[in-house]
Homo-oligomer: A and B are copies of this chain.
Amino acid sequence: MKQINGGVCAAIGFKASGIHAGIRKNKDKKDLALIVSEKIASAASTYTQNLVKGAPIHVTKANISDGYAQAIICNSGNANTCNANGIEIAEGMCALVEKHTGIKKTDVIVASTGVIGQPLDPTPMANGMEELTKALNPDGSNDAAEAIMTTDLKKKEIAFEFELDGKTCHIGGIAKGSGMIHPNMATMLVFITTDAAISPAMLQKALSADILDSFNMISVDGDTSTNDMVSVLANGMAGNTEITCEDADYNTFCKALSAVTTYLCRNIAKDGEGATKLLECNVCGGKDTKNAKIIAKSVICSSLFKAAMFGADANWGRILCAIGYSGADCDVNKVAVHLESSAGTIHVCQKGSGVDFDEDFAKKVLSEDEIKINITLGDGDGKATAWGCDLTYDYVKINGDYRT
């Protein structure tokens, strides 16, 4: 498996585009993205677990219920959620795709991201659709990745090449994250494309399994968004024999998918609203995977610990505290904690109590921009990794006045 360029256009037969259509006031910010496949593709999706769901989620669910789709349209600047006419607008977006590309409106995945509960005027999308369609091109992943960003500071885009059945396959994705990122499904928008041939059922199986260890293990602020969605299109144009069961090819595909999702996870967490640091919490020795996951998530979700990491303060007591209130079954008297970065490792806790360490060196270790919190439990073989970010002044600034 080799990392390549191209994002969602790395796979054969995919084009993408992104433009400023006028949904957002800032003319320098693209706000409408389109991704299309030359051929109809197997489609799989996972959605937010929030009871309040954006209208596009209901429409996407219906459109891919037959297992197939051919295009993805997504706007930023407005979430199209808690709007009385939300379904109508989301369906209208799909109809615009049909009108301008000929792809059936019921083969379109639709997504929106931005403010909740604000009226969404569809006029800019209708007016911009011709330009968006004309702009479709095999190097358009970049533009699409930009158009779906909200408060993200960095584009999130990745692709890999891998082999199936003697054929070269490609898989790539783009993502937007930043705020309202919390374990429990997607927690952001992620679009993945591949030219591997895989049946809709196996594609859904692969995606559903993958998110348990990827997107469900990241948190920026503990808020599960209303619009989160991870969608994959697989158009089969690589020419491999279609994957229809859990064979060796399926496992190879899952590994390639995981490479894409893990990269996007780390980058979503690192680019969390206001974040200056990526936090990676690795738990081993848990009673089982479930308990290890609960602990890893609890630590990266603790506001107190996140603020300490912003201050490069080795306040490991807050890690123990977060383990203790996580609800996981664990023996807190057996906990060991190491903090690690490219500057080195410090051992801060053993058997649940403090270990003497050099405060100056700790400050140096924690001043790097990627920090690993390695927790060793003495309860069993359960392992888990979760990703998060520090809590900063800028998080408050961004969210104290996001809407106006």
The answer to whether A231 has its CB under 8 Å from any CB of chain B is no
Please, which residue of chain B has its CB at the minimum distance from the CB of A223?
Answer: B304
Cα of A308 to Cα of B48 in the assembled complex, Å = 22
Q: List 15 A–B pairs whose Cβ atoms lie within 8 Å, in order of A's numbering.
A: A51-B323, A52-B323, A81-B320, A116-B318, A117-B320, A117-B353, A180-B304, A222-B303, A223-B302, A223-B321, A224-B321, A303-B303, A315-B402, A315-B403, A392-B400
- Among candidates B117, B307, B313, B404, residue contacting A317 with C-beta atoms closer than 8 Å: B117
Measured between beta carbons, the chain B residues less than 8 angstroms from A315 are 115-116, 402-403
Please, which residue of chain B has its CB at the minimum distance from the CB of A356?
Answer: B119
Are B221 and A303 in contact, CB atoms less than 8 angstroms apart? yes
Are B225 and A222 in contact, CB atoms less than 8 angstroms apart? no
The answer to whether A118 has its CB under 8 Å from any CB of chain B is yes
> Binary interface profile of A, 110-141, with partner B (CB < 8 Å = 1, else 0)?
00000111110000000000000000000000
Please, which residue of chain B has its CB at the minimum distance from the CB of A314?
Answer: B403
Measured between beta carbons, the chain B residues less than 8 angstroms from A254 are none
**Given A117-B317, A308-B403, A302-B222 contact (CB < 8 Å):** yes
**Given A84-B353, A332-B52, A224-B313 contact (CB < 8 Å):** no
Question: Which of A118, A180, A399 has the largest number of chain B CB atoms within 10 A?
Answer: A399
Please, which residue of chain B has its CB at the minimum distance from the CB of A404?
Answer: B313
CB within 8 Å of B: which A285-328 residues: 301-304, 307-308, 310-311, 313-318, 320-325
Please, which residue of chain B has its CB at the minimum distance from the CB of A397?
Answer: B393
**Given A317-B117, A325-B50, A221-B304 contact (CB < 8 Å):** yes
Number of copies of chain A assembled together: 2
What total of chain A residues lie within 8 Å of the partner, measured CB to CB?
66
Interface residues of A, Cβ cutoff 8 Å to B:
48-53, 79, 81-84, 115-119, 179-180, 182, 184, 221-226, 301-304, 307-308, 310-311, 313-318, 320-325, 330, 332, 349, 352-354, 359, 391-393, 395-404
Across the A-B interface, the 8 shortest Cβ-Cβ residue pairs: A116-B317, A52-B324, A311-B400, A307-B399, A117-B317, A224-B325, A50-B324, A311-B401
Are A396 and B399 in contact, CB atoms less than 8 angstroms apart? no
Please, which residue of chain B has its CB at the minimum distance from the CB of A222?
Answer: B303
How far apart are A318's CB and chain B's nearest CB, in angstroms? 7
Known: A116-B317, A223-B304, A395-B396. 16 other contacts (CB 8 A): A50-B324, A52-B325, A79-B317, A117-B353, A117-B354, A184-B325, A224-B324, A303-B395, A308-B399, A310-B396, A311-B399, A313-B400, A315-B403, A393-B393, A393-B396, A396-B396
Cα of A184 to Cα of B303 in the assembled complex, Å = 16
Cα of A184 to Cα of B403 in the assembled complex, Å = 32
Are A325 and B403 in contact, CB atoms less than 8 angstroms apart? no
Are A316 and B117 in contact, CB atoms less than 8 angstroms apart? yes
